[in-house]
Structure 1
């Protein structure tokens, strides 16, 4: 063997190097895809009421203070008096804001308005303020609750934590309330207990994943209302209702059960609003009712993605200080869900959480004096400045100013960078605030309303831009890490492919095992495998575009259909070659002198074997039929579900089956199962062996089919939603049945194409909203 031959040492070295590079590249990619953003540690304290500096501030005055003294200190430093003394936070899981506020300029549908008459009366009379509180993806419960109480945006890693919630250690409203001596009570989703395990005085948690329950899960919350509304020992009452979200998971957004569940929630709102806690005689103990939803839902009732239907959440404020007829005449404002945290913090006299990126809700502080309203905006700006300094070192440190002089207040300047832009907006807001204070001190009130409006607008300009930048900063990915990881993984793949090619050359070419058949090898790689290689490369490149990822099912349907068309073409070509070869063999006897005798013998032989010819032809063409079956049923599966993101609303077979009713679905299930068993019988008839093992497998096959048939007959198909998985199982049986015969004679990659096309064809997608948790629990019917 020559020195250039592949040795075991070289093979091991190259393989280990390729694997290590793959691990390194994957690690860099994961770190870049789930980046750790800078956050401020600890909890906000008295320092949040002072202007930010670049030096760390230690609040010695906060140490060893009792809850009562700390509350008094916050009130003195804040200069924004608490507007309420008690808070009822009612979370209606999965409630779209469209059900209560309508969509855009259109009011809610007549059915939705009739389902919540009391809530609609509060909105129409100006006794409640409603906001479209847009939720940030991922739209699942745990990260949305964290956003509402901390004002921070999590990442997609929170999707995994949603199924195993960990303790929230970041600064948040509940811990701030506990620090000033509040008593907290929670009834509802046990996610709150997992986030705050030792903070509630009383608690009663219910499972958030038992989606089949739409009655008891809410009754276990409402049964505490009479006692809690009459009690005086709490300051914060959290009520988290899960029933509406469960109705969506079972029956979809337009389920027939939805109006009844909305009416139940409307009765709860009425009960709380009309209770003694809302109309308490003591102003310091007045109660604010906040009705929020953590996310919306798609037409199928699922959530998790970033579509409008999934991010359309509600924020509804009901209390003594929110009445405003002027507000009710205008369109409901679109805000962000994180804006709830700073608003509640200043309404109840606690510092804004350190990592909050939210902005004070417009209209919620109209009952305060002008000076107090500007002070509230100033505190919100200072809190965002501290967070900006964590992301932008030396931002507004020392005596740095971006503009100077009052003459520059009304000018628009061309800003070259975001840092300079934020600096400019903040300096303009501070200058406008100082100018208004100066006019108040000097007694100049001629343009007081205009100056106040300009100062408020300037603050909101800065707050909006800073919040938007911090929001993008929290979700942006470091491109350098992602590209480095991808490049390293590509190098690893090239190295491993080179190793495989050298090994192939060493084993097959050098030793001459296939030297006698070079033509056959070239023919194998000429069509089928060449397309597979090109198709996989095309699919890998398509993943670089987000739109192609959202509609990945079209790529797999194209690859599968094209590959099996090539198989069909190859099979037909092979049949023609076989027929031509047989014809040439029949022509040779004509050259003999006994031509007529040979022909007569052939005719007699043809007559003798004529009866067995159809079965012979069937056996010869056995490769053609499975390919045709796969192509036909693959097209059926392609139209079974309109998957993806953009065209999911279009009609498809599954929607037609749901409209046809449960009887049609059950009939199609039985028909497909019988066909499946018939094909299995045909496959067993082709097995020549008659051993005991074959008989056992055949018996097990038919017993399993009978059990499935019995389950279909006895099961009750609930016709309450478009996501019933029983209908889609028919196409799955078709695909498995048709594909199993083909996979015996094709490349292994064809199995991947079939599997991925079937996966997306059955309604799955790359959106989190297609994760169906309805089957997460299995219960026994007693």
Structure 2
């Protein structure tokens, strides 16, 4: 009788699960673990408020210190610096195709403009993944898309982030586009005229570019546009077929050089006295030594970035190596050049030489707007933003800027004003660099804690499934889940307490944003209880196996 009663008591303390129910439970928990791991592995890009609210007024110049509080009347977005902007994006254009021996041999006009013309040349660094769609996003939003964008690269949905094209359209600028139809998918209804070419026929590297060039003569004669974007795919296709050292590369570069010459001469001939035009030449990514792209090799991430305009001074003196900038810097530089607000999610810095011909007050205004935008983005994405060195530098620069404005408004034109202006500019540039670096790191940083919690759940479920295989293969295929043996109850509570303590320590000391830490405490405790319960289940299954293996010996 006692034995039967004992068995009944043990029976009440256990719950029996059919194999189907057990498998479903494991599948659900496994999905939770995988989701948590992926959320940590694909960091969410730094984001600002939604675009509809992005029309907020720009900040005024920093207020001068002291009594009387003189107020600056510069409260609007600065006026455009360029009348027309032409962006020529040559797919897979490596930096050495322009600045190396190939450039000298096959792109004589571009080389002449780079060496002796009114231009600024840079090597723009693209962040991996070096595929077209994320790179267009980086160029137009100034933000860094993640590897998750590779998944949607082939089926590009409309871009909803605040971006240069949207800002330009909202400001009434007329944009024309010819080239890779990825742009048409990313920016539907943004162009007053467009003709998209498909990038799927890799063997075609002639017609795909001719379909862009055939519009040029007609569109360059017209005056009814403000921004013209051309995206040439031929060079990329040659790379995929036969690599960067193919004999086909030279003639293609020569063709591109003639197109750039035609555009540049046309822009110069039609320039108005008031505002000059700007020609931007860039690549979305480079190509590796085998002609492919997507990774992070030197050839894939370094692309040329040229700004050509009569607004710049003619280059003189010995040739220097082009300065290195980030690809994301183009969005903020073009926004300033077109008199538009800088995109809210941009992590880029203003490329100062492009606005270097303006007065000191204007230059300080531009870098202040850029710094303000970056510091606000940092505030919205970093809990301890006030401790960030970039934010601290920006606040110091802003204070110095206020002192400069005080001197300026008092009519001081001495050497002191000029030197202070240069000092403030230097402080701002230092702050921009640090802010941009902090934000970029955040995008590229894995959320290790979320990944570890996800991994623990996945491993526990796998172990539980492995230990349950003998049961699953038996006739009854039922699983006993221990509910209240004293040892496991104690172990369960101890594990819960320990995991909750670890959670508190990790989340209070974390400097960067962590998804698992941002969950509500109730959800986090639920996950901790699940991990503890799975652990107890594993130990119970191991104990059962040992018990069964010892039974025949008795």
TM-score, length of structure 2 as denominator length = 0.77
Matched, 1:461 2:461: no
Structure 2: distance between partners of 1:116 and 1:387: 40
Structure 1: distance between partners of 2:107 and 2:299: 20
Given that 1:93 and 1:294 are in contact with CA atoms closer than 8 Å, whether structure 2 keeps it comes out as yes
Matched, 1:29 2:37: yes
Q: Deviations over 1:317-376 (max 9, x none)?
A: 111112342587432110001100111111111111111110010311111001111111
Given that 2:77 and 2:340 are in contact with CA atoms closer than 8 Å, whether structure 1 keeps it comes out as no
Question: 1:316 matched to which residue of 2?
Answer: 306
Structure 2: distance between partners of 1:333 and 1:161: 32
Matched, 1:438 2:406: yes
Give 1:506 shift.
8.4
Question: 1:20 matched to which residue of 2?
Answer: 28
Change (3 A) 1:328 1:220: farther
Structure 2: distance between partners of 1:423 and 1:128: 32
For residue 202 of structure 1, the aligned residue among 188, 193, 211 is 193
Question: 1:266 matched to which residue of 2?
Answer: 257
Matched, 1:244 2:235: yes
Give secondary structure in 2 for the equivalent of 1:94.
coil
Give 1:295 shift.
0.4
Question: 2:379 matched to which residue of 1?
Answer: 389
Structure 2: distance between partners of 1:49 and 1:314: 33
Structure 2: distance between partners of 1:136 and 1:315: 15
Give secondary structure in 2 for the equivalent of 1:283.
coil
Question: 2:204 matched to which residue of 1?
Answer: 213
Question: 2:486 matched to which residue of 1?
Answer: none
Change (3 A) 1:49 1:95: same
Given that 1:321 and 1:367 are in contact with CA atoms closer than 8 Å, whether structure 2 keeps it comes out as yes
Give 1:126 shift.
3.7
Highest relative contact order (Cα 8 Å, sep 6+), 1 or 2? 2
Question: 2:350 matched to which residue of 1?
Answer: 360
Change (3 A) 1:9 1:217: same
Q: Deviations over 1:129-164 (max 9, x none)?
A: 111110111111111111111111111111111100
Given that 2:142 and 2:346 are in contact with CA atoms closer than 8 Å, whether structure 1 keeps it comes out as yes
Matched, 1:350 2:340: yes
Structure 2: distance between partners of 1:212 and 1:152: 32
Aligned length: 454
For residue 45 of structure 1, the aligned residue among 55, 60, 65 is 55
Given that 2:391 and 2:435 are in contact with CA atoms closer than 8 Å, whether structure 1 keeps it comes out as no
Q: Deviations over 1:678-734 (max 9, x none)?
A: xxxxxxxxxxxxxxxxxxxxxxxxxxxxxxxxxxxxxxxxxxxxxxxxxxxxxxxxx
Given that 2:141 and 2:343 are in contact with CA atoms closer than 8 Å, whether structure 1 keeps it comes out as yes
Structure 2: distance between partners of 1:11 and 1:203: 59
Question: 1:85 matched to which residue of 2?
Answer: 83
Give secondary structure in 2 for the equivalent of 1:91.
strand
Question: 1:282 matched to which residue of 2?
Answer: 272
Structure 2: distance between partners of 1:291 and 1:327: 23
Give 1:393 shift.
4.9
Give 1:33 shift.
2.1
Structure 1: distance between partners of 2:270 and 2:318: 25
Structure 1: distance between partners of 2:472 and 2:192: 69
Given that 1:125 and 1:328 are in contact with CA atoms closer than 8 Å, whether structure 2 keeps it comes out as no
For residue 127 of structure 2, the aligned residue among 111, 114, 136 is 136
Question: 2:281 matched to which residue of 1?
Answer: 291
Give 1:476 shift.
1.8
Question: 1:633 matched to which residue of 2?
Answer: none
Change (3 A) 1:363 1:328: farther
- The within-5 A match list for 1:413-424 is 419-424=387-392
For residue 333 of structure 1, the aligned residue among 323, 328, 336 is 323
Give 1:497 shift.
0.7
Given that 2:91 and 2:283 are in contact with CA atoms closer than 8 Å, whether structure 1 keeps it comes out as yes
Give secondary structure in 2 for the equivalent of 1:226.
helix
Structure 2: distance between partners of 1:488 and 1:476: 22
- The within-5 A match list for 1:751-762 is none
Give 1:206 shift.
0.4
- The within-5 A match list for 1:107-126 is 108-109=100-101, 111-126=102-117
Given that 1:134 and 1:334 are in contact with CA atoms closer than 8 Å, whether structure 2 keeps it comes out as yes
Give 1:13 shift.
4.8
Structure 1: distance between partners of 2:364 and 2:15: 77
Structure 2: distance between partners of 1:320 and 1:172: 27
User: Which range moves more in the overlay, 207-216 or 28-37?
Assistant: 28-37
Q: Deviations over 1:53-102 (max 9, x none)?
A: xxxxxxxxxxxxxxxxxxxxxx974463321111111110010112112x
Question: 2:368 matched to which residue of 1?
Answer: 378
Given that 2:57 and 2:76 are in contact with CA atoms closer than 8 Å, whether structure 1 keeps it comes out as no
Matched, 1:476 2:476: no
Structure 2: distance between partners of 1:319 and 1:332: 17
Structure 2: distance between partners of 1:294 and 1:437: 40
Gaps of 5+ in 1: 53-74, 102-107, 397-418, 508-782
Question: 1:700 matched to which residue of 2?
Answer: none
Given that 2:179 and 2:196 are in contact with CA atoms closer than 8 Å, whether structure 1 keeps it comes out as yes
Structure 1: distance between partners of 2:90 and 2:317: 24
For residue 190 of structure 1, the aligned residue among 181, 185, 206 is 181
Give secondary structure in 1 for the equivalent of 2:269.
coil
Give 1:173 shift.
1.1
Give 1:12 shift.
4.2
Question: 1:425 matched to which residue of 2?
Answer: 393
Give secondary structure in 1 for the equivalent of 2:328.
helix
Give secondary structure in 1 for the equivalent of 2:113.
helix
Structure 2: distance between partners of 1:505 and 1:327: 85
Change (3 A) 1:504 1:51: farther
Give 1:444 shift.
6.1
Give 1:124 shift.
1.1
Structure 1: distance between partners of 2:58 and 2:287: 37
Give secondary structure in 2 for the equivalent of 1:457.
helix
Change (3 A) 1:434 1:329: farther
Given that 1:84 and 1:283 are in contact with CA atoms closer than 8 Å, whether structure 2 keeps it comes out as no
